[in-house]
Amino acid sequence: MGDIENRRAAPSDFVDERADGPGVVSVAENDPAAPFYRLLSKLRAPVAMRDMMMAPVRACYRGEGLAIDPAELPPSAAQVYPQVLVSTLAVPSDAGPIRCECFTPPGDGPMPMMLYVHGGGFVVGRSEDTAYVTSRIAAENKFIVVSVNYRWAPEWPFPAGLDDCMAVLRWMRDAGADIGGDASRILVCGDSAGGNLAAALPLRAREERLSILATVLLCPLTDFHFEKFASYERLAPTGVVIDASFMGFARGAYLTKSQQWRDPRASPALGDLNGYPRTLLISGTADPLVDDNRAFAEKLTAAGVEVMHFIGEAMPHGFYFFPGVLKETDAAFAAITRFVAVALQS
Which pLDDT belongs to residue 340? Answer: 98
Kindly tell me if the per-residue pLDDT of 12 is higher than 80: no
pLDDT per residue over 62-71, tens digit each? 888 888 888 8
pLDDT per residue over 330-346, tens digit each? 999 999 999 999 999 98
Residues catalogued as catalytic = 192, 287, 317
The C-alpha atoms of residue 246 and residue 269 are separated, in whole angstroms, by 21
Report pTM: 0.94
pLDDT per residue over 131-147, tens digit each? 999 999 999 999 999 99
Q: Average of pLDDT values for 212-221?
A: 99
Cβ neighbours for 203, distance < 8 A, ≥ 6 positions apart:
264, 265, 268, 271, 272, 276
Q: Average of pLDDT values for 216-237?
A: 99
Q: Which CATH architecture has domain 77-345?
A: 3-Layer(aba) Sandwich (3.40)
Question: In which element (H, E) is residue 56 found?
Answer: helix 49-61
Q: Where are the alpha helices (DSSP H) in 285-326?
A: 290-302
Average pLDDT, the chain: 94
Kindly tell me if the per-residue pLDDT of 11 is higher than 50: no
Dihedral-angle region of residue 305 (phi above 0 means left; psi in -120 to 50 means alpha; beta otherwise): beta
Q: Average of pLDDT values for 201-227?
A: 98
Judged on CB neighbours under 10 Å (0-12, 13-18, 19+), 219 is buried
Q: Average of pLDDT values for 218-245?
A: 98
The C-alpha atoms of residue 304 and residue 275 are separated, in whole angstroms, by 8
Looking at residue 206, its amino acid is R
Kindly tell me if the per-residue pLDDT of 5 is higher than 80: no
